Structure 1
Amino acid sequence: MEEITDRCATLKLSVREDVEVTIHAPLTEDGPVLIGKFCTKSRINLEFVVRVLRTVWRVEHDFEVSDLGENKVMFLFQTKEDMEKLLLLSPWSFDKYLLILHKLVCGEVVKDIKFNRLPFWVQIHGLPTMCQTKEVGMNIDATLGEVEKVDANGKGFCLGSFLHIRVLLDVSLPLCRGRKV
């Protein structure tokens, strides 16, 4: 084993191979790009998926799709509004498989993205009516994950029989059956 280690220690790049290349990040803001991952072990038929998603998503402008392998897909939109609409309406599924969408930011590498968080709307039942507030919702659902939004009116109250909250959940963990409040 030491012999192999010693041999590897002597390996060096040639002068031609050792040239550094400097890249500069684009000066523009982040583009309307989503990276999606289908949560299935079987290979998806991307042509069929795109045909169906074009009719289901109903975006105003067309979008381009690139296969990234390992059931990962890049969606390039013409407008940020179309991309934001899809993120707001998520989670999405296709053929009973969850589609996790991630907004790509400048400088991010696809292989480093962890597809484990997804926004879900959660209902909290059994709270006293006067406790169905935005503040209470933020406190309760912070135990589940990152709170994105609490469905409340301008005064911070949730009118109805339950509190409605959008939370980023870790889909790699099993769902909790409940919480004590």
Structure 2
Amino acid sequence: MSEEVRRMDNEITKLCEGCKITDEEIQEVVVAEGNMLMSAERVRKCLVARIMSDKEVNKGAFCATMSKLWHAERQIFLRDIGWNRFLVEFQKKKDKNSVLQGRPWPFDKFLVCLQECDGNVALRDIQFSMEPFWIQFHNMPFVGMTRKIGEQLGVTIGRVLVMDTNESGTGWRKFLRVKILVDISKPLARGRFLNLGDKRFFYYY
């Protein structure tokens, strides 16, 4: 074994030894379930927000702007929990649900992603990849602007949440509008072909 290989082997061994869990670190702290009930109830009234920007936003401006924009019945508490991330605590579940239903929300031209706050998930493990958007399907024939066809088109993008159609199931206007839970980590296609009988259309969004 050459001297260089021996040196590298020693360095790797030292690194591995440094990664070993000590006897003190292996000890567990057991928390009684009753001690978590109060905080668990508060967590259920919370959301975690992330501003999708590469630059750090003005924290004070974000908290003030969103508190006014959300029009909650009771005061909302926003806490800075890291780079462009905030814990949003509501006093009423009704206010929380209203904010969720009103998505997507912008701040300073950036998307604000919101996720339910799971008390058993660490902050670093929360995924901000899914967000609902109103998608407009353009270049649609009137016979294709229906609830059933809109749902067929919507599932090619994500999970359909709301169809903007009337009681008869039609949405006749300049475009068909569908609210869809979209994976924002992937690029959105420009459109797709739609075959209706012997007719073929390229609809776009």
- TM-score normalized with structure 1 length: 0.85
2:44 aligns with: 31
Aligned residue runs from structure 1 range 42-53, under 5 A? 42-53=55-66
Aligned: 1:82 with 2:95: yes
Q: Aligned pair in 2 of structure 1 residues 43, 12: CA closer, same or farther (>3 Å)?
A: closer
Q: Aligned pair in 2 of structure 1 residues 94, 12: CA closer, same or farther (>3 Å)?
A: closer
2:74 aligns with: 61
CA distance in 2, matches of 1:127, 1:40: 34
* Structure with bigger RCO (C-alpha 8 Å, 6+ apart): 1
1:2 aligns with: 9
1:21 aligns with: 29
CA deviation map 1:31-83 (0-9, x unaligned):
12111111112222212221122222111111111111111111000111111
**Which of 117, 125, 129 is the matching residue for 1:112?**
125
CA distance in 1, matches of 2:21, 2:103: 49
Q: Aligned pair in 2 of structure 1 residues 31, 128: CA closer, same or farther (>3 Å)?
A: same
CA distance in 1, matches of 2:187, 2:150: 21
Q: Aligned pair in 2 of structure 1 residues 106, 156: CA closer, same or farther (>3 Å)?
A: farther
How many residues of Structure 1 are paired with residues of Structure 2 in the alignment?
Answer: 180
Aligned Cα RMSD in Å? 2.4
1:174 aligns with: 187
Secondary structure class of the residue paired with 1:149: strand
Q: Which has the larger radius of gyration?
A: 2
What is the deviation of 1:147?
Answer: 1.4
Aligned: 1:129 with 2:142: yes
Secondary structure class of the residue paired with 1:176: coil
Q: Structure 2: 5+ residue runs without aligned partners?
A: 1-7, 195-205
What is the deviation of 1:119?
Answer: 0.7
Task: Give, as a single letter, the amino acid of the residue that structure 2 aligns with 1:13.
Answer: T
Whichever structure has more helix as a proportion of its residues is 2
CA distance in 1, matches of 2:123, 2:169: 38
What is the deviation of 1:113?
Answer: 1.6
Q: Aligned pair in 2 of structure 1 residues 100, 157: CA closer, same or farther (>3 Å)?
A: same
- TM-score normalized with structure 2 length: 0.76
Q: Structure 1: 5+ residue runs without aligned partners?
A: none
**Which of 95, 99, 109 is the matching residue for 2:112?**
99
Give the fraction of aligned pairs with identical amino acids, expressed as a percent.
Answer: 29
What is the deviation of 1:111?
Answer: 0.8
